[in-house]
Amino acid sequence: MAKPPATSLAHSTGRLHPLPLRIMHWINAVAIFIMIGSGWKIYNDDIIFSFLRFPDSIVIGKWAQYGLEWHFFGMWIFVLNGLAYISYGIATGRFRRKLFPISMREVFVTIGEALRFRLRHDDLRHYNAVQKVLYLGVMIVGISIVISGLALWKPVQFSELANLFGSFQNIRLVHFLCMSAIVAFISRMNVRRRIGLNVVITGLAVIVTYALGLLTKRLLGLQI
């Protein structure tokens, strides 16, 4: 007898995520959209990479000051919603059930299967090892982008945070790198699952390698 397709399991058991989580995801999507669009406008006013400038058609804010106002608006939504999300995940035990434990052996096996286009994910209720790492990683990136954002916003008042990065340009670079990682993560969520893992691994490797090279040069005081 032929085995019924495993994908029907997700449909027969109802929605994959509880209502509070879906609401927080959509709120987060709006906040990130605002922060990325306005952040690109702020970036254009004082670029980091000479070859990179974002078209005016995809930025938020007519001038950099308007971009800053939009950015702060999105930031507070992102921070408050993030606190609610983390509290919900801990209080309900969702993080413990969904994201732990993580086996490094399983991570390497999953990456190998993805690179050979053999990755299967029949039961959508369970995350594979790479998904666990990506979800935990994007939460760490979210925290890092808030910390670096505070250091950029008030470098004197948050001098302890600013000192962690070494220089103002390093803060900007880390902030930009975190934004790039979030964009890569969102892109991964919106393409086919098998191809998406390859895209995010390749994209993040390129971004991290290039940005870390620049950051290393800055920390060593070399000319870029």
- Are residues 105 and 77 part of one domain? no
CA count, 13 A, side-chain hemisphere, 110: 20
Segment holding 41, helix H or strand E: helix 19-45
- Are residues 65 and 165 part of one domain? no
Q: Does the residue 6 lie in any domain?
A: no
Q: Based on the structure, what is the number of domains in the chain?
A: 2
- Are residues 109 and 217 part of one domain? yes
- Are residues 105 and 39 part of one domain? no
Q: Does the residue 1 lie in any domain?
A: no
- Are residues 217 and 133 part of one domain? yes
Return d(Cα 6, Cα 24) in angstroms, integer.
28
Tell me the residue range of the domain where 72 lies. 17-98
Q: Are 98 and 127 in contact (CB under 8 A)?
A: yes
- Are residues 175 and 127 part of one domain? yes
- Are residues 182 and 166 part of one domain? yes
Last residue of a domain, one of 69, 98, 127: 98
The alpha carbon torsion through 104, 105, 109, 112 (nearest 10 deg) reads 60
- Are residues 106 and 22 part of one domain? no
- Are residues 109 and 82 part of one domain? no
Question: Between these two residues, 120 and 205, which has the higher pLDDT value?
Answer: 120
* Whether pTM exceeds 0.75: no
Tens of pLDDT, residue by residue over 63-103, are: 888 999 999 999 999 999 999 999 999 999 999 988 888 88
Q: Does the residue 132 lie in any domain?
A: yes
Tokens of 72: 């702060």
Tens of pLDDT, residue by residue over 155-182, are: 999 999 999 998 999 999 999 999 998 8
Last residue of a domain, one of 70, 98, 126: 98
The whole-chain average pLDDT of the chain stands at 79
pLDDT at 9: 44
Nearest partner of 168 among 151, 181, 180, judged by Cα? 151
Q: Does the residue 5 lie in any domain?
A: no
